[in-house]
Amino acid sequence: MEKLARRRVTAADVAREAGVSPATVGFVLNRTKGQTISEATRQRVLAASQRLNYKPHQAARTLRSGRNKVVLLVLPDWPVEHSLRTNLEVLTHALAAHGYALITYTPLPQSTAPPLWAILDPAVVIGYKPFSVQDVADMKSLGIRNIIPPPDQEVVEASPDFVLGPRLQGEYLLALGHTRLGFAKPADPRLEELVEARLQLLNQVCTEAGVAPAVAKQVDFQGPSGPLAIAQWRAEGVTAVAAYNDETAADVISAAVRHGLRVPEDLSVVGHDDSPLAARYLPSISSVAVDNEQLGLYAAGLALHYAEEQPLPDPPTGAAEIVPRESTAHIDGGHGH
């Protein structure tokens, strides 16, 4: 308001205003432990800081203290699923409660820009899948110590939503009397690892129940893969399909209906993620709802464990449940819900 070329307000300005030294300002505002400050001075500093609208310069803080209160979440370059989004919101809130900001980032393959972890020096970097050796080396050379999943430990435990979801799909369909299952894979090659993992979990259920493994087919919402998969499933006597996620489930239903089948009378289809699409589709899609809140909180706990001296959080129980809708039915054609 006053002068045109207004510098930003620094701790020194606040100190002058409050009649103390810059160090005292720092002690008050950061609640530095091991320092005793009289209540009167504390109030004077607080008031002055408020009056001048003082905001500490984060870059300076980072430079001095060597760490930034930022958690970087590296997302893979695939469509952000609905489940991820709610997960993310919980994570953001939980971290914010401890003063950490969450920044999400999707590295682009042919980008000329340096990766974000070089710009932000985040306190923690979280990846949805383990980082490449090169990325880890890059981060370590930048002084980033907290990497999740930890790169040194070899065995990566799968996160529980991937473990329980396919199990539930399988058990649900088997409970409806189906004995010949199909599995629908999405076309996106970037998802391959996860797809295979889910398929194996489904087959595990099949084996346990003494039925043949699921017939896995790729289904895309355009092109010939959909009709082809439907024909092959019919030929193999498949009466129920577990889909990788709700989008894939929709593609299966679409292909089936266009092929002249009725869903669920001729073919039951179950999705995964309980996304809005599942509720919205025609017919509505039975799906697996994952407890994203719990997962988000666990991720936050993990990050804080590395960033601060917090104890390790309890591993999530992986609560998940089937949400029955119109797309599934008993093998005899009765309703499954």
In this structure, are residues 213 and 196 in contact, taking their beta carbons and an 8 Å threshold? Answer: no
Binds its own copies by CB under 8 A, chosen from 100, 172, 183, 244: 100
Among 46, 52, 61, 187, binds DNA (CB under 7 A): 61
Single residue of 16, 46, 52, 56 touching DNA by CB under 7 A:
56
CB of residue 248 to DNA, shortest distance in Å: 47
User: From the CB of 231, what's the least distance to its own copies, in Å?
Assistant: 19
| 122 vs 146: CA distance, rounded Å | 9
Only segment of 125-133, 139-147, 266-274, 300-308 that touches its own copies (CB under 8 A): 139-147
Residue 131 near its own copies by CB under 8 A: no
Give yes or no for residue 117 binding DNA (CB under 7 A).
Answer: no
Residues of this chain, 26-55, that bind DNA according to CB under 7 A: 26-27, 29-30, 32, 35-38, 40-42, 54-55
The answer to whether 86 contacts its own copies (rule: CB under 8 A) is: no
Binding partner at 257 among its own copies, DNA, none, C-beta below 5 to 8 Å by kind: its own copies
Footprint of its own copies on 32-61 (CB under 8 A): 53, 55, 57-60
- The reply on whether position 104 binds its own copies by CB under 8 A is yes
Which of DNA, its own copies, none has residue 38 at its interface (CB below 5 to 8 Å by kind)?
A: DNA
Does residue 70 touch its own copies according to CB under 8 A?
yes
Q: Where along the sequence are the contacts to its own copies (CB under 8 A)?
A: 8-9, 53, 55, 57-60, 62-63, 68-70, 79-80, 85, 89, 92-93, 95-97, 99-101, 103-105, 108, 111-114, 116, 118-121, 141-143, 221-222, 247, 250-251, 253-254, 257, 276-277, 279-282
